[in-house]
Structure 1
Amino acid sequence: MTASKNGNKTQFGTVNSNMTVDNGVYQPESRGKSWAIVLAGGRGERMREAISEWLGSNRPKQFCRFTGEHSMLENTWDRARQLVGNDHIVTVSVADQAMYFEELDVDTIPGTVLYQPEHNGTAAAVYLALAHILALDPDASVIILPSDHFIFPEANFVALARTALGYVAADPEHLILLGAEARWPNTDFGWIKPAVVGSGSQFASNAVIQPVLAFIEKPDNQQARHLYSNNALWSTMIIATKGELLWQLAKVLHPKFYFCFLYLHRLTLQERYGTMQKEAVDNAVGKTFKYMPELDFSKDLLQNITQQCLVLPMTDIDWDDWGRPERILQSIERYGLDSWLNDAGRSMC
């Protein structure tokens, strides 16, 4: 699952036959650190038509440069670097998207990139990264960062994400979810209903941690209006927690799924200590993915453990999944962002 540090490209920038990139430099004594799991395997179906119209070809939106000089993935990497450093970033994509990583200078790709053999649900992406991280750092804290989201301003987000990781260090028995403050009753998004709206245990002077009462995935119009009027939050899939807690939750909730990744975790350990060749590990990953259950991280995991979830509102932070072209253009206009879409995108909306 990870590339050798002494491969045929650069010492700390190897690309193997499965296009796994490893720019991480790990210290065996480095335990209990914070790691970022960057999810970069989405297909972006809702944006496919708009991107094809804008660019003349299709690509998932995380690999698009809508504003400035960097893609959405590169912007996510920048946020992750500020949170955990370069070496503790693990990005998960899919083998058929390796071409987009080839466009990048390998030395600019942080940490490690892992490729799923095929799409198998969001839970598989999270746990592939987790199997890798826990083999290197059994006491790791992790923050999950989707790579195709708009977040502004970045400094406010980084400060809040650090607060979330700090809370994880103090309370390793909960998952800390970052919930975006809803701007309208959106039916595209999942929602988080806090158990106590407007109050909660104070962790920092500018952040209120609240228990989670329920998750609602893509409500109908009436439900969305009710959630909005009751100050529910948009679900961002940005989550901070202890890696071991996530690991054990899968064991309890989905044993077959868990044992698939326990197997991959053990293979990663064998590869790390030189008792198994990387090619054998890669082959095992491919075979394992064919037989594992397909799970959605939010629906199949989070919705079953609301009692272990806390939500941290993203106060003074604008978040959007940029899943529709009009919302991209609205964000660009709202903040006066530098973008070629200021002219080219208008014909789409």
Structure 2
Amino acid sequence: MSASAADHVYAIIPAGGVGSRLWPLSRAKEPKFLLDLTGSGHSLLRSTWDRIVPLIGSDHIMVVTGAAHRASVVSQLPDLDGDNLVLESEPRDSTAAICLAAALIARRDPDAIVASFPADHFIGDERAFREVVTEAAQVAATGRLVTIGITPTSPSTGFGYIRTDGTLDPDGSQGLPKSARAVTSFVEKPKASVAREYVASGEYLWNAGMFVARAVNLMGWLRESEPELAAGIDRIADAWGTPAVYEVKAKTWPKLKKIAIDYAIAEPVAAAGQVAVIPGDFDWDDVGDFSAVARQVRKRNPGNLAILGEASVLSESSTGVLVSETDRLIAIIGVQDLVVVDTEDVLMITTSDHAQRVKEMVNMVRQTGNENLL
């Protein structure tokens, strides 16, 4: 990316969500994005920051997070400009977070192209990632919404999919990257049989929740699909930097509609034929459950039992993942695909096959009134 082009590219990192499937490790006070879940020595948030900075610089990165996480985010990202930290009084889902950041950036730079990247994902080949982002920004400059789709490595039922429809610029007349494809639709997480059909067809990519667009276009699409939500965001953005912002935000933010950006913008814009995708062939994972944690830990430390933390472990003929925040000795004998999460106040045990169901246990804990454990 040329220096002049990079001057107008900004990154938005929405850092929210508790990561319920990673309980009791991930909790409201210290959610998934603040944790090291891969054994890298850095939190997922810090890793996200580190792979973006070489592309656009730290002054072009805006982080949106809950007010309760302000101190932790500032501690982990000491180079984050205070003017680029947007605090939510309460979560209102991804559309409000991303579009408020986009609206603020658009008021600073009307030519801005914004790229939104989840704070809690793993990406292996950072150089390949940055090349894909550069291509996505080139396509976004033409007025399209661009998403980054991950080339599937298996028929996963844990991810949403993007259906593509051929090369966007087959004859090169538009000067677009050869990798760019048209998008026909976004598809929810499928059944296993359907996922196999998707992967076999070669027409589908995993939806990684990464979007790139001109900031003014993003807000324009939101005004068409969700006018009340857009109006509320505009009220807050117009008051930003003035004494009135606190009152305006306090009155407006809690009333904003909770809706994911996939539904508010991506799907209707795709239906109008204005979405493109750049395939990413790099290693990617949303680290959504303990099976994913095991995959990432084993990449650094291969073995039958993936261990995250400083626990003392004796394992005999056992497989799975063990995550510990205690210093007690843990002995595991003759069990397969076990998931053990050992914290100071909760011991959670399940299997890899049931890792996605941890969220159900979180609901059960809430029903028992033990909110302090969440």
Return the TM-score normalized by structure 2: 0.74
Supply the AA of the counterpart residue of 2:278.
L
1:174 aligns with 2:149: no
Partner of 1:191: 161
Q: For residues 25 and 213 of structure 2, what CA distance do their matches in structure 1 show? A: 35
Whether the 8 Å contact between 1:207 and 1:313 is mirrored in structure 2 is no
1:63 aligns with 2:31: no
Change beyond 3 A, Cα 1:212–1:98: same
Partner of 1:47: 22
Partner of 1:329: 294
Supply the AA of the counterpart residue of 2:62.
V
Whether the 8 Å contact between 2:169 and 2:178 is mirrored in structure 1 is no
Q: Which moved more, 1:107-116 or 1:181-190?
A: 107-116
Cα shift readout 1:38-72 (whole Å, capped 9, x = no counterpart): 110121111123557xxxx9731110123323211
Supply the AA of the counterpart residue of 2:169.
S
Partner of 1:108: 79
1:298 aligns with 2:262: yes
Q: For residues 335 and 156 of structure 1, what CA distance do their matches in structure 2 show? A: 20
Gaps of 5+ in 1: 1-29
Supply the AA of the counterpart residue of 2:151.
E
Whether the 8 Å contact between 1:77 and 1:110 is mirrored in structure 2 is no
Partner of 2:182: 211
Q: Please give the secondary structure, in 1, of the residue aligned with 2:59.
A: coil
Q: Give the superposition deviation at 1:334.
A: 3.5
Q: For residues 41 and 207 of structure 1, what CA distance do their matches in structure 2 show? A: 34
Whether the 8 Å contact between 1:50 and 1:325 is mirrored in structure 2 is no
Q: Please give the secondary structure, in 1, of the residue aligned with 2:23.
A: helix
For the aligned residue pairs, the C-alpha RMSD in angstroms reads 2.7
Whether the 8 Å contact between 1:48 and 1:59 is mirrored in structure 2 is no
The structure having more radius of gyration, on CA atoms, is 2
1:320 aligns with 2:288: no
Whether the 8 Å contact between 2:59 and 2:81 is mirrored in structure 1 is yes
Change beyond 3 A, Cα 1:71–1:194: same
Cα shift readout 1:208-257 (whole Å, capped 9, x = no counterpart): 11101110122233332222222210001111111111010011111111
Q: Please give the secondary structure, in 2, of the residue aligned with 1:188.
A: coil
Whether the 8 Å contact between 2:132 and 2:279 is mirrored in structure 1 is no
Partner of 2:225: 253
Whether the 8 Å contact between 2:12 and 2:64 is mirrored in structure 1 is yes
Q: Give the superposition deviation at 1:340.
A: 6.2
1:148 aligns with 2:114: no
Supply the AA of the counterpart residue of 2:280.
M
Q: Please give the secondary structure, in 2, of the residue aligned with 1:195.
A: strand
Whether the 8 Å contact between 1:31 and 1:137 is mirrored in structure 2 is no
Of the candidates 225, 233, 249, which is equivalent to residue 205 of structure 2?
233
1:85 aligns with 2:57: yes
Partner of 2:195: 224
Cα shift readout 1:259-290 (whole Å, capped 9, x = no counterpart): 1111112112xx2xxxx32xx31231121012
Q: For residues 140 and 252 of structure 1, what CA distance do their matches in structure 2 show? A: 20
Whether the 8 Å contact between 2:14 and 2:117 is mirrored in structure 1 is yes
Cα shift readout 1:71-108 (whole Å, capped 9, x = no counterpart): 1101111122122211111000112323422544x633
1:126 aligns with 2:98: yes
Supply the AA of the counterpart residue of 1:312.
I
Change beyond 3 A, Cα 1:243–1:301: same
Q: Please give the secondary structure, in 1, of the residue aligned with 2:40.
A: coil
Q: For residues 255 and 77 of structure 1, what CA distance do their matches in structure 2 show? A: 32
Change beyond 3 A, Cα 1:148–1:59: same
Q: For residues 260 and 95 of structure 2, what CA distance do their matches in structure 1 show? A: 5
Q: Give the superposition deviation at 1:122.
A: 0.9
